Chain A
Amino acid sequence: KNEVEQSPQNLTAQEGEFITINCSYSVGISALHWLQQHPGGGIVSLFMLSSGKKKHGRLIATINIQEKHSSLHITASHPRDSAVYICAVARGDTDKLIFGTGTRLQVFP
Chain B
Amino acid sequence: EPEVTQTPSHQVTQMGQEVILHCVPISNHLYFYWYRQILGQKVEFLVSFYNNEISEKSEIFDDQFSVERPDGSNFTLKIRSTKLEDSAMYFCASSPPGTSTDTQYFGPGTRLTVL
Majority-rule SS of A interface residues:
strand
Question: Which of A96, A99, A102 is most buried by chain B, counting CB atoms within 10 A of its CB?
Answer: A96
User: Within 8 Å CB of A42, what residues of B?
Assistant: 106, 108-109
> What CA separation (Å) do A14 and B37 show in the bound complex?
29
Interface contact tally, CB-CB below 8 A: 58
B45 in the interface (beta carbon within 8 A): yes
Known A-B contacts A41-B108, A42-B108; A48 and B102 likewise in contact (beta carbons under 8 Å): yes
User: Within 8 Å CB of B50, what residues of A?
Assistant: 95
Majority-rule SS of B interface residues:
strand
B108 pairs with A99, CB closer than 8 A? no
> Which B residues contact A (CB, under 8 angstroms)?
31, 33, 35, 37, 41-45, 48, 50, 55-56, 58, 89, 91, 99-106, 108-109, 111
Nearest 7 CB-CB pairings of A with B: A95-B48, A96-B45, A43-B106, A90-B101, A31-B101, A99-B43, A95-B56
